[in-house]
Amino acid sequence: MIMKEPTPTQIQQLPCFHRATIPEAYLDVMGHMNIRHYMGLFDEAAWGFFHAFGMTEQFILNSSSAAFALEHHVRYLAEVHVGEMVAIHTRVNGRTAKRLHFIHFMLNETTGKLAATLEVIASHANRDTRRTSPFPDEIAAQIDQFVAEHSILDWAAPLCGVMRP
């Protein structure tokens, strides 16, 4: 069961991990942004988010750590057109020793509308064994800071209801 959509003001309480102006190359034959570009923008935000809790490219290259996406649930809520500015804000819903549950909100800053959400289950993995593994302690502690900050927000994230970390 998907909950009520948060307002733009509520979404802006969350950290923003990517911002972009939509170029003409992102449009499809129907004149709005093609779905592949939504995913590309969400991916850029995911890397910004991962950097914020220490999973940088340098950390990954210097350790056996990796992150794998396990499940996505995307919702398209309002069209995005060329020249519009979007910002992607992220809320952490929880984690286990190995998995992380978060949701990206694509806010169209030009129109003031929530354009899309991407709910994600990701996992820490060992690059050598290619198997899921617990987050390193220093990474887990930083993720836990996000969990604590986001758990006290006065609005519920509009989760799909079937994804669990």
Strands 16-21 and 131-132: unpaired
Q: Which helix (H) or strand (E) holds 148?
A: helix 137-151
Rounded distance, CA 32 to CA 24, Å?
9
DSSP structure string for 60-108: HHTSSEEEEEEEEEEEE-S---TT-EEEEEEEEEEE-SSEEEEEEEEEE
pLDDT tens series, the chain, 165 aa: 556 889 999 999 999 999 999 999 999 898 889 999 999 999 999 999 999 999 999 999 999 999 999 999 999 999 999 999 999 999 999 999 999 999 999 999 999 999 999 999 999 999 999 999 999 999 999 999 999 999 999 999 999 988 888
Task: List domains and CATH numbers for the chain.
Answer: 8-151 (3.10.129.10)
